[in-house]
A and B are shown apart, each in its own frame.
Chain A
Amino acid sequence: MTTSPSTEAVVAPGDVTPAPALEVVGLTVTFPAVGRRGTDVVALRDVDLRVAAGEFVAVVGPSGCGKSTLLRVLAGLTPAGATVDARAVTTPVDASGARATAWMPQRDGLLPWRRAWSNALVGARIAGVDRAVADARARALFDAFGLAGFERAWPHELSGGMRQRLALLRTCLPGRPVLLLDEPFGALDAITRRRMNGWLAGLDLAGHGRPDGAGRAVVLVTHDVDEALLLADRVVVLSDRPGRVVLDLRVPRGDPTAARQVLLEALDPQGGTSASGGA
């Protein structure tokens, strides 16, 4: 626990935090050495993370620091061969006792043999959502996600941005209480990503406007500080590999300039303060 004092300091009992929807305590993930002479790769070391319902948390950190690995563990997708060690991993379960998280991969994972519409319904089908309910939700979401008119398109007929939006739609549609998004727009060009982020901010995935407890817990992995500040209530910064939590910052309402500076310093302690843009 010595490595995460900031977690303790910022998310203290003083805050009005309801019981976390999602919680990991003391998570360490180790990959076996590649090749005969290598040493084991410690991807994450002693990471704590708590996310409440209705809270949007961004995880930022340099490339290879274990962000995707953290999200996979939360989604129950431990990579084969990896050793996962944690004091607690708590995720919500649905009525049948199955894990009720929805994970969106870094690449879209769309099934090429399904049209856009039925790709969108994959998550609902897995979650056992009634077909009529799922269809109604899909109709509303296709409009909200700017995909109306492309219901019958094959995935390869969609642009990169549309594919990512469709993948996000598929993840949101089942109405799971936890969304785990791994760089949803990481593969897009800067201008498109900026536009997508503006749109995503307006979407209110976590459901801030809802009465207490009705919202969703959202964890977004990114390496773009501005994206994190725009979308999240809280930003968690991981260090270089092995990833440790070095900062857990509540995003202030209003001007984010000061918060941005703090984040950049946490991301790049030696590099001075002249860094601009992403990590």
Chain B
Amino acid sequence: MRRWRRLFAPTVAGLVLLVGWEVGVRASGLPAFVLPAPSQVARTAVDVAPLLGGHVVTTLTEAGLGLLVGAVVGLLLAVLIAAFPWVQDTVYPLVTLTQTVPTVVLAPLLILWAGFGLLPKVVLVALTAFFPVLVAAVTAMAAVDAEHAEMVAGLGGTRRHQFWLVQLPASVPGALGGLRVAATYAIGAAVVAEYLAGQSGLGVLVQRSRKGYAVDQILVAVVLVAVLTGLLFLLVDGLARLATPWQRPSTPSRPGRTPA
């Protein structure tokens, strides 16, 4: 019943919005280079479909690789921070400072240094992705359950034991939570980098479409970005669940109705 409503309500709301858009565009007679009707966007999507495959593959590659690199770097840094207090004191503030610079500002520099190819895009995605992973993992490691740390110490455990037996595994769910957040940024970061310079990818598609006033094509790209981001999130979420089998299903037991 609840499941059904959760699926049904947003679908209906979305449909109402689309119909309103279609009717509004037709009634007002807005030109297509300002706002095309959804039916036209759909037609364009079918027309350009053969071209889209290559762009989608490029963007997904950049986002996937960047996410992977970002996650690994973020987790490694978190481990170093947990293991050596001086790393925390020196590196953490600097790392936080880098996050105050928006990616759009960094992208031209990266392109200047690393060219038009895959590398600058992967670096840019990694730069956006590693931070949520790092922060979530560091927080989880710092908030280790005192009960567990004491148990290990009470059995004669050293700091090394604490790290391998308690701190590192305790940080996994947190780091995966950070990775979920990072997954929602990854496609967007890749598209921004492509938009500024590139030969292929959804950002390149948007840029070319803008030059030709093909608003319908831009909208096709927008929908694709949304769908890909959603899919990437679901994938990361699924992997995260697989990696933490000890976690109870997140839905708490609901007060059940006793059968009459």
CB within 8 Å of B: which of A59-84? 75-77
The total of chain B residues at the interface (CB under 8 A) is 21
Complex interface: stretch among B46-54, B77-85, B153-161, B196-204: B153-161
- Evaluate whether A100 and B156 lie within 8 angstroms (CB atoms) in the complex, with A105-B147, A111-B165, A113-B172 already known: yes
A126 to chain B, nearest CB (A): 5
CB within 8 Å of A: which of B138-154? 147-148, 150-154
Q: Which residue of B lies closest to A182 (CB)?
A: B154
The total of chain A residues at the interface (CB under 8 A) is 32
- Evaluate whether A126 and B155 lie within 8 angstroms (CB atoms) in the complex, with A111-B166, A111-B169, A156-B248 already known: yes
Write out the residue numbers on chain B whose beta carbons fall within 8 Å of the beta carbon of A94.
156
Which of B151, B165, B166, B170 has most A Cβ within 10 Å?
A: B151
Asked whether A198 is an interface residue with its Cβ less than 8 Å from the other chain, the reply is no
B157–A126 touching, CB < 8 Å: yes
B158 to chain A, nearest CB (A): 8
Asked whether A109 is an interface residue with its Cβ less than 8 Å from the other chain, the reply is yes
Write out the residue numbers on chain B whose beta carbons fall within 8 Å of the beta carbon of A115.
246
A109–B165 touching, CB < 8 Å: no
Write out the residue numbers on chain B whose beta carbons fall within 8 Å of the beta carbon of A105.
147, 150-151, 154
Q: Which residue of A lies closest to B161 (CB)?
A: A126
Write out the residue numbers on chain B whose beta carbons fall within 8 Å of the beta carbon of A208.
none
Which of A100, A102, A122 has most B Cβ within 10 Å?
A: A122
- Evaluate whether A122 and B169 lie within 8 angstroms (CB atoms) in the complex, with A105-B150, A109-B147, A113-B246 already known: no
B148–A109 touching, CB < 8 Å: yes
Asked whether B244 is an interface residue with its Cβ less than 8 Å from the other chain, the reply is yes
Asked whether A154 is an interface residue with its Cβ less than 8 Å from the other chain, the reply is yes
CB within 8 Å of B: which of A107-122? 107, 109, 111-115, 122
- Evaluate whether A123 and B246 lie within 8 angstroms (CB atoms) in the complex, with A105-B147, A107-B147 already known: no
Interface residues of A (CB under 8 A from B): 75-77, 94, 98-105, 107, 109, 111-115, 122-123, 125-127, 154-156, 170-171, 174, 176, 180
What are some 6 contacts across the A-B interface (CB < 8 A)? A115-B246, A122-B165, A125-B165, A126-B156, A127-B155, A127-B156
